[in-house]
Amino acid sequence: MKNNDDLFQLIKTLNKEEKQFFRLYASRVSTKGDSNYVRLFNAIDKQEEYDEKAIRKQFVGQSIEKFLASSKHELYGVILKSLHAKTEEESPEAKLRMLLHYAEVLAVKGHEEQARNTVNEARQLAETHELLTYLPEILHLEFSYMPGDDKEQQLKRAGAFYDEHQQVMRKLENRALYERLDKQVRFLTQNLAYGHSNNKDAISSFLEKPEIADERHPLTVMARYYFHHIRALCAFNLRNFEETYNQSKLVFELSQQHAPILQHDAARYISLLHHYSNACSVTGRMEEMKEVCRRIRQVQTNDERLKARAFQYSTNAEFNIYLAEANFDAVEKLAQRVEDELPQYRQHMERVFVLIICGQTAYSWFLLEQHNKALKWLNEALNLVQVNHRDDITLMLRLLEVLLHFELGNHDLVDYRLKALIRYISPRADRFKTEAIFIQGIRKITTANSREQLHQILRNVKAAIDNETGGDAYEKQMKAHLNLNIWLNGKLSGVPMRELRKQNEAETKKRVAE
Amino acid sequence: MKEHAILHQLIKTFSKSEKRYFKLFASRGTNNGSDEAAIRLFDQFDKQELKDEQREMETQSAAFSETALRLNDLIMKSLHSFHEEKTPEPRIRAQLHYTELLLAKGLEKHARQQLKVARDIARKHELLEYMPAILELELAMADKDNREVQYKKAQLFYDEYCDALSRLEVQSLYAKLLKEVNLFAQRTPYQRSKKNDFADIDTFLAMHEVKAEQGPSSIRSQFFFNDIHVVAAYIKADYNTMYFYSSRLVRMAQEHPDVLQYETEKYVSILSRHASASALMRLPHELLETARLLRAINTTDERQKVKIFVNAMSAEFNTCVLQRDPDLIRKSLQQLEEGYETFHRRLDSTYAFLLPAQGAMWAFVMGDMHKALHWSEIALSTGSMHDREDIMLPLRITQIQSLYELGDFEKLRQKTRALYRYLMGKTAHYRIEKALVEHIRSLARSTAANKEKQFFTGLRDSIAAALTESPDDRRFFGGYTDLVAWIDSKVLGAAPLLPLLNEEEDPAPKKPARKTARKKS
């Protein structure tokens, strides 16, 4: 058994339509009709797990069996070609490449005028979608198919070709520079982003670079996209959330003004919407965030990875919105939807988002007092390989685990997990002060013999936290996340956490209205 | 041109295998009726069943337009699919699409493999135009790496990207310069050597990019650089230098076949230039070898087939001039006969005149007067080639000689008058031309019984003197037939066939210049 077989993997990613098209396409390649390609394809397609022995057995004595390795290799190529033929007009890049070949074929056949028209069509496509990477090739073809009658005109065209070529080179270089900076700024900010470092000097000096400081530096829409995106990322890491929002909004507006450039690449569009949604989240613009989520879910794509990405970003954002708004009906529906849809997207989701969404689902069921469901999702999250630089998520999950076992009355497990948690937080106590105080405060929670003793422990913890954080700021920050204060208040007052969250939210709205 | 005419022409260029593939492609594409109608229309076009009037009527109907549109779409798709794997550029483009498709399916390992194939092809054939797209996909795939690795990859990406761009920029500069120097060459053909006015080309050659050998940073740029010097040297009639650079180009093409031979247009251009240089340096063996290399090129490109034909023919005829080998002349005339039939519609005006003109002169030399007349009629019917006076006069003389040999004196008189008119219409004359004018005039006035003998005797002496004393006359009229020997044969009554071939030993071929690479500035 070898489920990592490339051909098997490829066949298993094909949808019905693609399979149907392949069968038609393969019959074109072979004049014999039901070609060996189709037969081998069907045999592999029927398998749940790849079993080469079964394939050999099925085609024993036939050429497929004799030359199985080469047959598989050829079939892999034919499948790719069929996918290529099927989707060639679906994306501007693929269509542009097809037009370039049409032009070459027409020129070879001696139809230079038609070739020129086709190159012109390709150029328009490249300009509409700012597909600069193909312009050198387009210019080269235009130059080759230049009409050869009027020599003065030819001389002018040669000059114009070189001038435009130079401009394209400048733009390409400028864009590549921003692509490089975009990748590099992520490295510079990764330690700051999740509190691993407070050294903001690297980002400050990065922001002083002329290409980042000067708005006139980017030469294309794509370069401007990177420019604002980089600045948003830097602002976020410098905890300047208003600037993060401003820059992210500029990116969003750019994507609306230049839809053919910034929306045709669904990956980029989803990513910029996600960053905009985060910026709305950190500045408390929930209505705007809802609109962004709606846009993320609306993105049309056949790309399985992008579907997964749209799911992870929109689900994460919606959890944040509904939890912050204390809209528990929506939270429940969303948690239910995650149960249904996560398995479908999980394979292509980023590990950190699988972790976050499992954690958010667990926390949602915890708030809804469906502790068994919460435990199932929590175990799901804790069984995943944790993401090193996101120890904030790991800590939240482990804290939730302690509280959940406490609610379920698993006191032995509470003690055991608390000891482990104390060991985990000790080296991180500076970064997670509230959590460290909370953990220290409840370490003897299972020793309380009476309700009064328990309340005393909880009151002490609450006082210590308020003393450290000043209460309100913490409340604001923890609206959508595991809120230890609410849990403490709930335990002390006997009111369910979700009710307290609703009351808090109602009071906040009233205060804002006043 | 009307759409259906284009479609018709396109179908006429289909090879057998392309037609077979089209039928398979179209018949198994969809199940609805429109493709069948398109296939039927394809067959009609292919068999030329559609007469002009019928075509006119049919094109009025909407159904025809729709079918023609569908046929055009199917034709382009089938040609695209048929040829996609055959040349590196579409292969790279297909590989880029495979990479995108596999990435979309989440099969990153597979996508990396396909992208590597694209990169290997681009590197092998030095197709720098595709490097930006390849590098951007590589960078996009780095997203799954940790951020430190991403940081390093981003730096490497940028360095390689900038390197590719700078090499592309240099390449485009040299492409532009080559175009410019080619246009210099076209502007004053054949006249420039008389004036010896090379101020513009000297200014061009003094440009830093043209002087500096270290300028070109890729094989393609080096090709452009050397080719620029070939053309510039040709314009300046500096054939030693021309031969030096064209030999270098041929060597480069042999050393880097994946870059300079796979693209037929470049390779044909390299060989053609070298053939010209070899002809000018009077190197028959190299000429013949270059013609052989030209004819060995295998291409489906109709434009290149024409270029190969004309350049190989020219090289072979030039070898005939140098070697005077009857077997070679016969073979070349046969090649002309076969190729002209296939390619004459696609020849540009210069070659449509030159090749039959040369054919006429060599057919005359071989004693085939009918063929000589046939080719000369074809050449003269292509229209006036004022800039090829070096061919025009010998061609007219050949025509007259042929008519004389055939004893068609009525036509001979007509053609002699036409030659006289042609010469009188010229503003400047070579010595031979002047002699012809004078002798034709005196022939018309003469009443002597032996006036023809007198005409030939006088003409012979004038031409012999012009060829001896005037290098320009020798250059323009000394190439094909030995006019003096022919006139001698007329005066002496000898049979004017093969003995007319110039049996005088060719001057020893000039030793090609051994240039050392120019000093790096």
Secondary structure class of B145 (helix, strand, coil): coil
Structure token digits, residue A9: 């993997």
Q: What is the mean pLDDT of residues B215-224?
A: 88
Q: What is the mean pLDDT of residues A430-443?
A: 84
Please provide the average confidence, as pLDDT, over all residues in chain B: 82
Q: What is the pLDDT of residue A31?
A: 57
Count of CB pairs separated by less than 8 Å, A with B: 198
Q: Kindly state the helix (H) or strand (E) to which residue B325 belongs, with its residue range.
A: none
Q: What is the mean pLDDT of residues B203-218?
A: 84
Q: What is the mean pLDDT of residues A18-31?
A: 82
Contact between chains at A109 and B89 (C-beta distance less than 8 A): no
Nearest to A83 by CA among B447, B462, B135, B105: B105
Structure token digits, residue B513: 């210049």
Structure token digits, residue A377: 């999702």
Q: What is the pLDDT of residue A491?
A: 85
Q: Cα–Cα distance between B256 and B125 in angstroms, integer?
A: 9
Q: Cα–Cα distance between B288 and B314 in angstroms, integer?
A: 10
Secondary structure class of B513 (helix, strand, coil): coil
pLDDT tens track for B224-283:
999 999 999 998 889 999 999 999 999 999 999 999 998 888 999 999 999 999 999 999
On the question of pLDDT at A30 being above 70, the answer is no
Q: What is the pLDDT of residue B507?
A: 40
Residue with tokens 């198919």: A145
Least CB–CB distance from A97: residue in B24, B96, B346: B96
User: Which of A130-139, A141-150, A168-177, A196-205 is the least confident region?
Assistant: A196-205
Q: Give the total residue count for chain B.
A: 521
- Specify which of A298-307, B50-59, B489-498 reaches the highest per-range mean pLDDT: A298-307
Least CB–CB distance from A165: residue in B142, B148, B172: B172
Is B157 part of the contact surface with chain A (CB cutoff 8 Å)? yes
Residues 6+ away with beta carbon under 8 Å from B189: B387
Largest pairwise CA distance in chain A: 102
User: Which of A134-148, A267-281, B489-503 is the least confident region?
Assistant: B489-503
> In this structure, how many other beta carbons lie within 10 angstroms of the beta carbon of residue B211?
14
Q: Cα–Cα distance between A388 and A352 in angstroms, integer?
A: 10
Cβ–Cβ under 8 Å, residues B369 and B385: no
Nearest to A78 by CA among A10, A1, A180, A178: A10
Q: Which of A169, A175, A389 is the mutation pick for testing B, counting most B CBs within 10 A?
A: A169
Q: Kindly state the helix (H) or strand (E) to which residue A67 belongs, with its residue range.
A: none
Contact between chains at A186 and B139 (C-beta distance less than 8 A): no
Q: What is the pLDDT of residue B2?
A: 65
Structure token digits, residue A190: 């990764």
Q: Kindly state the helix (H) or strand (E) to which residue A131 belongs, with its residue range.
A: none
Min Cα separation B394/chain A (Å): 28
- pLDDT category at A40 given cuts 50, 70, 90 is very high
Radius of gyration of the CA atoms of chain B, in A = 29
Q: Cα–Cα distance between A103 and A110 in angstroms, integer?
A: 11
Structure token digits, residue A283: 């500045």
Q: What is the pLDDT of residue B497?
A: 39
Residue A350 φ then ψ, to 5°:
-70, 145
A341-375 per-residue burial string, b: 16 or more CB within 10 A, e: under 16? ebeebeebbbebbbbbbbbbbbbbbbbbeebebbb
Q: Cα–Cα distance between B141 and B509 in angstroms, integer?
A: 61
Please provide the average confidence, as pLDDT, over all residues in chain A: 88
Q: Cα–Cα distance between A391 and A195 in angstroms, integer?
A: 10
Q: What is the pLDDT of residue B418?
A: 84
pLDDT tens track for B495-517:
443 333 443 434 444 444 444 43
Q: Cα–Cα distance between A325 and A504 in angstroms, integer?
A: 10
Contact between chains at B93 and A101 (C-beta distance less than 8 A): yes
Min Cα separation A406/chain B (Å): 37
On the question of pLDDT at B57 being above 70, the answer is no
Contact between chains at B76 and A162 (C-beta distance less than 8 A): no
Q: What is the pLDDT of residue B216?
A: 79
Q: What is the DSSP letter of B509?
A: P
Q: What is the pLDDT of residue B499?
A: 37
Q: What is the pLDDT of residue B159?
A: 93
Residue % of chain A over a pLDDT of 90: 49
Q: What is the DSSP letter of A428?
A: G
Q: What is the mean pLDDT of residues B104-110?
A: 88
Min Cα separation B361/chain A (Å): 30
Instruction: Please identify among residues 58-77 of chain B the ones whose CB lies closer than 8 Å to any CB of chain A.
Output: 76-77
Nearest to B7 by CA among B46, B35, B33, B34: B46
- pLDDT category at A248 given cuts 50, 70, 90 is very high
Q: Cα–Cα distance between A296 and B53 in angstroms, integer?
A: 58
| Apex B509 CA angle, B504 and B513, nearest 5 | 160
Give the chain A residue whose CA is nearest to the CA of B166: A169
Q: Cα–Cα distance between A23 and B504 in angstroms, integer?
A: 72
Least CB–CB distance from B161: residue in A6, A176, A347: A176
Give the chain A residue whose CA is nearest to the CA of B155: A180
Give the chain B residue whose CA is nearest to the CA of A95: B97
Cβ–Cβ under 8 Å, residues A370 and A404: no
Structure token digits, residue B316: 């072979």
Residue B311 φ then ψ, to 5°:
-70, -40
E strands within B19-104? none
> In this structure, how many other beta carbons lie within 10 angstroms of the beta carbon of residue B504?
9
On the question of pLDDT at A421 being above 80, the answer is yes
Structure token digits, residue B220: 């393609």
Q: What is the pLDDT of residue B440?
A: 77
Is B90 part of the contact surface with chain A (CB cutoff 8 Å)? yes
On the question of pLDDT at B83 being above 50, the answer is yes
pLDDT tens track for A149-160:
677 888 888 999
Cβ–Cβ under 8 Å, residues A378 and A359: yes
Amino acid at A1: M
Q: What is the mean pLDDT of residues B421-447?
A: 78
- pTM comes to 0.80
On the question of pLDDT at B409 being above 70, the answer is yes
Which residues does chain B have within 8 Å of residue A185's beta carbon, measured at their own beta carbons?
A: none
Cβ–Cβ under 8 Å, residues B431 and B473: yes
Q: What is the mean pLDDT of residues B384-405?
A: 78
Q: What is the DSSP letter of A480?
A: T
Q: What is the pLDDT of residue A303?
A: 80
Is B79 part of the contact surface with chain A (CB cutoff 8 Å)? yes
Residues 6+ away with beta carbon under 8 Å from A59: A39, A40, A43, A65, A68
Residues 6+ away with beta carbon under 8 Å from B14: B22, B46
CB-count burial class (<10 Å; 0-12, 13-18, 19+) for B53:
exposed
Question: How far are the Cα atoms of A46, A247, A323, A405, A480 from residue A501, in angstroms, in the given order?
Answer: 52, 32, 9, 22, 10
Min Cα separation A380/chain B (Å): 23
Q: Cα–Cα distance between B103 and B98 in angstroms, integer?
A: 8
pLDDT tens track for A109-123:
888 889 999 999 999
pLDDT tens track for B313-371:
999 998 988 888 889 999 999 999 999 888 887 788 888 888 999 899 899 888 899 99
Residue % of chain B over a pLDDT of 70: 83
Q: What is the pLDDT of residue A32?
A: 57
Q: What is the DSSP letter of B345?
A: G
pLDDT tens track for A462-513:
888 888 776 555 555 555 577 888 888 888 888 888 888 888 888 888 887 7
Q: What is the mean pLDDT of residues A374-379?
A: 92
Q: Cα–Cα distance between A164 and B207 in angstroms, integer?
A: 21
Least CB–CB distance from A154: residue in B94, B109, B179: B179
> In this structure, how many other beta carbons lie within 10 angstroms of the beta carbon of residue A155?
17
Q: What is the pLDDT of residue A500?
A: 87
Question: How far are the Cα atoms of B422, B441, B444, B477, B484 from residue B417, in angstroms, in the given order?
Answer: 9, 10, 10, 20, 21
Is B345 part of the contact surface with chain A (CB cutoff 8 Å)? no
Q: What is the pLDDT of residue B512?
A: 44
Residue % of chain B over a pLDDT of 90: 35
How far is the first Cα of chain A from the last one, in angstroms, to the nearest whole number? 68
Structure token digits, residue B455: 């005409």
Which residues does chain A have within 8 Å of residue B81's beta carbon, measured at their own beta carbons?
A: 85
Radius of gyration of the CA atoms of chain A, in A = 29
Question: How far are the Cα atoms of A88, A342, B26, B130, B453 from residue A18, in angstroms, in the given order?
Answer: 13, 24, 19, 28, 88
Cβ–Cβ under 8 Å, residues A140 and A103: no
Min Cα separation B108/chain A (Å): 11
Cβ–Cβ under 8 Å, residues B223 and B488: no
Give the chain B residue whose CA is nearest to the CA of A106: B10
Q: Cα–Cα distance between A183 and A512 in angstroms, integer?
A: 40
Give the chain B residue whose CA is nearest to the CA of A187: B147
Q: What is the pLDDT of residue B30?
A: 53
On the question of pLDDT at A358 being above 60, the answer is yes
Structure token digits, residue B10: 């396109």
Q: What is the pLDDT of residue B521?
A: 30
Helix B3-12 to helix B62-83 angle, to the nearest 10 degrees? 40
Q: Cα–Cα distance between B270 and A143 in angstroms, integer?
A: 19
Q: What is the pLDDT of residue A166?
A: 93
On the question of pLDDT at A447 being above 90, the answer is no
Which residues does chain A have within 8 Å of residue B231's beta carbon, measured at their own beta carbons?
A: none
Contact between chains at A187 and B147 (C-beta distance less than 8 A): yes
Q: Which of A133, A150, A156 is the mutation pick for testing B, counting most B CBs within 10 A?
A: A133
Q: Cα–Cα distance between A258 and A269 in angstroms, integer?
A: 11
- pLDDT category at B411 given cuts 50, 70, 90 is confident
Instruction: Please identify among residues 422-461 of chain B the ones whose CB lies closer than 8 Å to any CB of chain A.
Output: none
